[in-house]
């Protein structure tokens, strides 16, 4: 699985023990990985930490706990191989809590900005991800509810870099992947238009990109349910992310918190 990724000279030994403790204690998904997968996750996380800049906003101080907790979750999305360590990303902005962002809508070729909206996360196409630290911690405190702001925003980044949800040509995506994701999205939009009760978050009907991000959250947090309710979508995401989250259910592990 790790053949696609060139290890640094230090290998996983370059990942300090203090970083390992944070990764293991903060991220419950680590309890589902075998040792080779954990070695790869540490390697990817270390690369992320070396190459990406973290900045605190509104008085938020940045420390190793924040950096590793965010980077580790982002790199879980890369374990399937074939993806770089977010080369399009330069900066992660971290607010202490929900932040306010302009509400932007597009009408034809025009971009219209009207008012403001409170948000827990946001992705900017020019290389920035914005996160609320409170919401990051909230996501981790409830790892089986289908909501994870880090998974959501970094799925957007993957989508932007490769066109996963838009069906654009890319070596990573088979015809089956593009066909299934697009079909599932169209059916989902139709269901929401008819006001049918949907299992996935209705926010996924906003766009193909939002559908891909929402499906990613549910794949990692509620894989068993996703396999039952959307089996074709689950199979494609399993191939894409390189993990069988149905077989590795979060109910078999509990989040650990060294501060408790």
Measure the CA–CA gap between 204 and 200, rounded to whole angstroms. 7
Helix, strand, or coil here: 94? Answer: strand
Measure the CA–CA gap between 28 and 51, rounded to whole angstroms. 25
Cβ contact 174:238 at 8 Å? no
pLDDT at 160: 84
Helix, strand, or coil here: 230? Answer: coil
Helix, strand, or coil here: 158? Answer: helix
Residues in the chain with pLDDT values less than 70: 1-13, 82, 102-116, 163-174, 250-260
Cβ contact 88:127 at 8 Å? yes
pLDDT at 130: 96
**How many residues are recorded in the chain?**
260
pLDDT at 105: 62
Q: Does domain 2-252 have CATH number 1.10.3720.10?
A: no
Cβ contact 123:156 at 8 Å? yes
Domain spans, the chain: 2-252
In order of 63, 115, 136, 222, 228, the CA distances from 102 in angstroms are 28, 6, 21, 32, 38
Between β-strands 53-56 and 91-95, what pairing exists: parallel, antiparallel or unpaired? Answer: parallel
Measure the CA–CA gap between 2 and 79, rounded to whole angstroms. 8
Q: What is the pLDDT of residues 34-46, one digit of tens each?
A: 999 999 999 999 9
């Amino acid at each position: 699985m790790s053949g696609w990724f060139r290890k640094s000279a230090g290998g996983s030994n370059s990942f300090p023990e203090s970083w390992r403790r944070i990764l293991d204690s903060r991220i419950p998904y680590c309890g589902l990985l075998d040792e080779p997968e954990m070695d790869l996750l540490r390697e990817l996380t270390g690369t992320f930490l070396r190459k990406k800049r973290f900045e605190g906003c509104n008085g938020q101080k940045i420390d190793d706990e924040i950096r590793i907790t965010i980077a580790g979750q982002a790199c879980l999305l890369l374990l399937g191989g074939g993806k770089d360590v977010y080369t399009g990303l330069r900066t992660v902005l971290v607010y202490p809590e929900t932040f306010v962002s302009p509400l932007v809508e597009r009408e034809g070729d025009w971009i219209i900005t009207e008012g403001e909206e409170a948000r827990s996360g946001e992705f900017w196409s020019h290389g920035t991800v914005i996160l609320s630290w409170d919401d990051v911690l909230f996501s981790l405190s409830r790892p089986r509810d289908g909501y994870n702001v880090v998974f959501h925003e970094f799925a957007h980044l993957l989508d932007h870099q490769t066109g996963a949800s838009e069906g654009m040509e890319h070596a990573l995506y088979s015809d089956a992947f593009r066909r299934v994701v697009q079909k599932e999205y169209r059916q989902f939009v139709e269901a929401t238009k008819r006001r049918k009760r949907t299992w996935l978050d209705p926010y996924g009907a906003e766009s193909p990109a939002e559908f891909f991000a929402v499906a990613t959250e549910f794949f990692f947090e509620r894989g068993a349910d996703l396999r039952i309710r959307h089996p074709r979508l689950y199979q494609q995401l399993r191939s894409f992310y390189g993990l069988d989250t149905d077989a590795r259910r979060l109910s078999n592990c509990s989040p650990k918190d060294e501060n408790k």
